[in-house]
Amino acid sequence: MKRLTTLVLATLTSTVIANTHTFDINVSKTGADIQPTMYGIFLEDINYGADGGLYAEMVKNRSFEFPQSLMGWRAFGKFEVRDDGPFEKNPHYVRLSNPGHPHKHTGIENEGFFGISVKQNKKYRFSVWARCPEGGKSKIEVQLVDNDTMGENQSQAGTSITVEGKEWKKYTAIIDNKHTKNDLSLRLFLRPAERGAGLVTTDLEHVSLFPTDTWKGRENGMRKDIAQALNDLKPGVFRFPGGCIVEGTDLESRYQWKNTIGPVENRPLNENRWHYTFAHRFYPDYYQSYGLGFFEYFLLCEDFGCEALPVLSCGLSCQYQNDIRDEAKVHVALDDLDPYIQDALDLIEFANGDASTTWGKVRADMGHPEPFNLKFLGIGNEQWDYKDNAAYTARLKKFLDVLKKQHPEIKYIGTTGPDSEGEKFDILQPKMKQLKVDLYDEHFYRNEEWFLNGGTRYDKYDRKGPAVFAGEYACHGKGKKWNHFEASLYEAAFMTGFERNADIVHMTTYAPLLAHEKGWQWRPDLIWFNNANCVKTCSYYIQQLYGKYRGDKVLKLTEGKLPVAGQEGQDGLFASACIDETRNAIIIKVANTGDEAQSLNLNFTGKKKDLVFKKLEIITLHTDNMNEENTLENPYLVTPKLELQKPDNMVVVPAKSFQIYVYNR
C-alpha cells in the first residue's frame, strides 16, 4: 500500500472514551479457513469501465461499426464509408479521396472517449489497416490536435505513415509526445506520398491509438494506472464480464464470449445496454468493442494472481426488461439451450484444454499455450424464478446436469437474484441448495440502516447449504449515492461478518468497480477516473485493507459470548479476528460506527493466551467529516494511516473509524 504513512494518532490521548468493551479472542482454537478468494473484484463494462476506461484504446468507434458509422468521427473532404472491408465481422471502413483542389483537405478526426489525453514525454502507438485500392502510394498525416487552442498550431504532436499497394496491411507509427494535454482529437489527413505527387485514394480500417506504456507493456493493453490500482487490491478472485451485460437487453445483445477472442480487428461490436438503460443518464455512443475480451480478462487474472470467475448467459435476457410470458421471443426455450451449454463447455476448454483441443488451440494461437486453470464458473447473473415458473432454476439445472458430469472439477455458481431478501430471494435460496450449486451469488446495494443492521446476517445461514458469494454490494447512502467515508465505514463494519463466517462466505466483490467521471450511469463505484488519472475511493481502501490483512483462519471473537456485530449494548462496534500464519500475527478488525471513541480490552483466551507479541501495528481509516470523499481533484483526503505501538491489550478505537490491529509475534 503506497500511501500508508506512519502517524502517531496523538489526538487519541485527548479523546473522550465512552465505555470499555472486553472482546474475548480465543487464540487456541482456530476456526474456518479464510479462502484466498474471499476479497475480489468484479468488472463490468458499465460507466465506461472497459471501453473508454481500463481498456487503453483511445479511439472510439475505431472500426466504423457503430450503427451510425461515423459516430465519434468528423469526416471532411471527399470520403465514403464502405462495407466490404477485410474483417468479416467488422466490414466497414472509410475511403479517402482527392477533394478536387490542392488547397482542400480530405480526412477524418476522432473525438476519443470524452477527448484524448496524453502525457508529457510519453509515446503513443498509432496503427491502422490501410490500402490504396487503385494502387500507388499515399501518406496519412496523423495529428493529435487541440481544437480549442489559442496557439497558432492546433497540432500538438504527430507522425505519418506511407500506405502502398492494393493489399490491406497494418501500418504502425509512434507519436513521441512532449507535453501533457487533455481534450485532444486524433486527426488524419490524406496527403501525397511525396512532394509534388498527386493524392491517391486510400482506405482506412481499424484506426487505433494506445499509449505504449500500458499495463505490462501489452499492445492490446490496459491503462496502467487503473490496472495497477486493481493489482494493488490484491484480489483473490476476478468476476467478469458482468452484471446485466451478460444477460443483454435481449438475447441478441447478451455477452457472447466467443465474440471477444481472436484478432481484435475481427471481434464484432456489441451494443452496451448501459448506453440507454437509464434515460436520465443517456450515452448514445457507448458500445462494446470487446478489445478487452475473455482472453484479456484471463491474462489479468494471471497478472493479479487471482482466480478467474467468468459468468455466462443462462438463456434468460434481463428479466427486469423482459416479461417471462414472452418466453418465445426474449428468452431461450428450455429445449433450445444446448448451444448455450456448449458455450460453457467450450469456455472450459478454452481456459483449461491443452493446445491439441479445439478451443485450447485458439488460446494457444493467441499466445498462451499454458492453460489458465479455470476453477469457477457462474451461470446467469441476476435471474429469478416466479411462483409458478422456474424460469431460472429449470435452465440452471440443464446446465448443471451436463457441466457437473463433464467437469466435476469446476465450482459452479448460481444466483439468489437481484435482492438480498424478499420473495425472489426466498424462492431461490432453498433451490440453490437443492440444485447443489457450489456457491450462490447474492447482490445487495443497500442503505446505511441495512448495513448497520446486517452484522449477523451470515451467522444465521445454513451451514450445510452452498457457500456464499457476495458478488455485488455497496452501501448506497440514502439520498447520497456517492463514495463518502460514511458508506465505506458501514461496508467495513458489515465485512467483519464476512470474515467471522468464512466457513460459508467464500467470495465477495464490491460493485461496480470503475467509473469515468464524464460517463457514469451508476454510483457509488470503487475507482473513479478521467482520461488522465484515477482516484481510489474510501471504499477502495476498505477493500484493500481487507485484502492485505485477510489472514488465514478465523479466530472466535465475542463480547459476552455474542459476536461483535453492532448488537444491543455494543455501541456500534463490529469486530472480527483472524490469524495470519505468514505474518505470524493475530489480526483484529474493528469498525466503530458510533459517535464516541470506545476503549477495547482485547482479551486473548485459551491455552495460548500468554502470547508474546513483538509489535503492534494499528492501521486506521478515519476522517472527522462523514461526507468527505476522495476526488480526482483531491485524491488523498482519506487514506489509511499506520501507527506502530508497543503491544498492549488495551486500545482505543476512535469514533467513526475502521481500525486493524496487527499483533505480530
Q: What beta strand segments (E) does 432-569 contain?
A: 439-446, 467-475, 505-509, 514-516, 527-529, 534-536, 553-559, 562-563
Please give the helix or strand (H or E) that residue 396 lies within, else none.
Answer: helix 391-406
Contact between 522 and ligand AHR per CB under 6 A: yes
- Give bridge partners of residue 78 from the DSSP assignment: 97
Instruction: Choose between 69 and 509: whose C-beta lies nearer to ligand AHR.
Output: 509
Q: Which of 382, 442, 472, 499 is catalytic?
A: 382
**What is the closest distance, in whole angstroms, from the C-beta atom of residue 446 to ligand AHR in the complex?**
12
Contact between 244 and ligand AHR per CB under 6 A: yes
Contact between 46 and ligand AHR per CB under 6 A: yes
Contact between 45 and ligand AHR per CB under 6 A: no
Instruction: Choose between 243 and 497: whose C-beta lies nearer to ligand AHR.
Output: 243
**What is the closest distance, in whole angstroms, from the C-beta atom of residue 418 to ligand AHR in the complex?**
6
- Residue 506 grid coordinates: 467464500
Question: How far is Cα 504 from Cα 458, in angstroms, rounded to an integer?
Answer: 8
Contacts to ligand AHR from residues 383-422, by CB under 6 A? 418
Residue written as grid cell 476448454: 349
Contact between 352 and ligand AHR per CB under 6 A: no
Nearest Cα to 265, choosing from 204, 211, 206? 206
The piece of 24-32, 217-225, 237-245, 642-650 that touches ligand AHR (CB under 6 A) is: 237-245
Question: How far is Cα 634 from Cα 537, in angstroms, rounded to an integer?
Answer: 11
Contact between 291 and ligand AHR per CB under 6 A: no
Residue ranges in 257-334 assigned as alpha helix (H): 294-304, 327-330
- Give bridge partners of residue 508 from the DSSP assignment: 39, 470
Instruction: Choose between 107 and 243: whose C-beta lies nearer to ligand AHR.
Output: 243
Nearest Cα to 128, choosing from 152, 162, 80? 162
Number of Cβ within 10 Å of residue 174's Cβ equals 12
Nearest Cα to 620, choosing from 549, 553, 516, 528? 549
Contact between 511 and ligand AHR per CB under 6 A: yes
**What is the closest distance, in whole angstroms, from the C-beta atom of residue 260 to ligand AHR in the complex?**
17
**What is the closest distance, in whole angstroms, from the C-beta atom of residue 49 to ligand AHR in the complex?**
10
Residue count at the site for ligand AHR (CB under 6 A)? 13
Phi-psi category of 560—alpha, beta or left, where left has phi over 0 and alpha has psi -120 to 50?
left
Q: Is the alpha carbon torsion for 336, 341, 342, 343 positive or negative?
A: positive
Structural contact between residues 619 and 545, judged by C-beta atoms closer than 8 angstroms: yes
Angle between helices 338-352 and 391-406 (to 10 degrees): 40
**What is the closest distance, in whole angstroms, from the C-beta atom of residue 283 to ligand AHR in the complex?**
15
Instruction: Choose between 36 and 242: whose C-beta lies nearer to ligand AHR.
Output: 242
Contact between 663 and ligand AHR per CB under 6 A: no
Is residue 499 part of the annotated active site? The answer reads no
> Residues 512, 551, 572, 640: which binds ligand AHR (CB under 6 A)?
512
Binding mask 437-476 for ligand AHR (x = CB under 6 A): ------x----------------------------x----
The piece of 151-159, 241-249, 426-434, 637-645 that touches ligand AHR (CB under 6 A) is: 241-249
Residue 450 in 3-state DSSP? helix
Instruction: Choose between 330 and 514: whose C-beta lies nearer to ligand AHR.
Output: 514
Contact between 381 and ligand AHR per CB under 6 A: yes
Amino acid at site 567:
Q
> Residues 57, 205, 346, 382: which binds ligand AHR (CB under 6 A)?
382
Position of minimal CB gap to ligand AHR: 243
Phi and psi, residue 324, nearest 5°:
-60, -25
Q: What are the catalytic residues?
A: 382
Contacting positions for ligand AHR (CB under 6 A): 44, 46, 242-244, 381-382, 418, 443, 472, 511-512, 522
